[in-house]
Chain A
Amino acid sequence: EVRLVESGGGLVQPGGSLRLSCAASGFTVSNYWMFWVRQIPGEGLVWVSDMNKDGTNTMYADSVKGRFTISRDNAKNTLYLQMNSLRAEDTAVYYCVRGGLPAGLDCWGQGTLVTVSS
């Protein structure tokens, strides 16, 4: 069974850091584009970042560029999102997602909630 399980969310103060993890099973992350998508509770989905299959290309939304870093550990079959200089507006559920063009985002984790508040 193809599965993505996020962890690492929680409460953090403004300016703080968190690292989200996404453990994949049933497939190999290095064979797919991988994504982070976030959703403020009660609001819509927002693309945050992605990484290509061989890990040589990463992209970020303007709102997180320079603060967030996507990475991957092939041996652990795990995707990460390092989030630094967190702001209140980063508060959201963060989803780890498999997919890419042209086939769409075909497998989503259950999400992990990040709350940035003092």
Chain B
Amino acid sequence: QSALTQPPSASGSPGQSVTISCTGTSSDVGGYNYVSWYQQHPGKAPKLMIYEVTKRPSGVPDRFSGSKSGNTASLTVSGLQAEDEADYYCCSSYAGSDIYVFGSGTKVTVL
């Protein structure tokens, strides 16, 4: 199972939106609605931001939204704020099993 493909970086000014893509295959991203997204600040543990493609855990701002089309999932951060500057990772179940594959990670910079 290969890592899911994410762009290495993305950026936007405060108040703007940024969208991060996560491309897999029909065996992972495209085949199941088990895509999740994680935010990681430097030196900190990752934090769950989106699960089941579009759902937000309690406490995650609604500025964060997820979607999927075919083998590509996306995370959009609207109304960018300074605290959104972090690394973001997607994750998918492989073949609907108990095997998981992460994306390569995207560093989001707030200009």
Residues of A within 8 A of B (CB): 33, 35, 37, 44-47, 50, 52, 57, 59, 61, 95, 99-106, 108-111
Contact = CB atoms under 8 A, between A and B. Distances in A.
7 contacts: A33-B98, A47-B99, A95-B46, A102-B33, A103-B51, A103-B52, A111-B45
A45 B47 contact: no
A50 B47 contact: no
B64 interface: no
A109 B45 contact: yes
B89 A105 contact: no
Interface of B: 3, 33-34, 36, 38, 40, 45-48, 50-52, 57, 89, 91, 93, 97-105
Contacts of A52: 98
Given A44-B105, A102-B51, A102-B52, A95 B45 contact: yes
A105 B105 contact: no
Given A101-B34, A104-B36, A45 B99 contact: no
A105 B36 contact: yes
A37 B48 CA distance: 14
A59 B98 contact: yes
A79 to B, nearest CB: 15
Contacts of B57: 104, 106
A104 B48 contact: yes
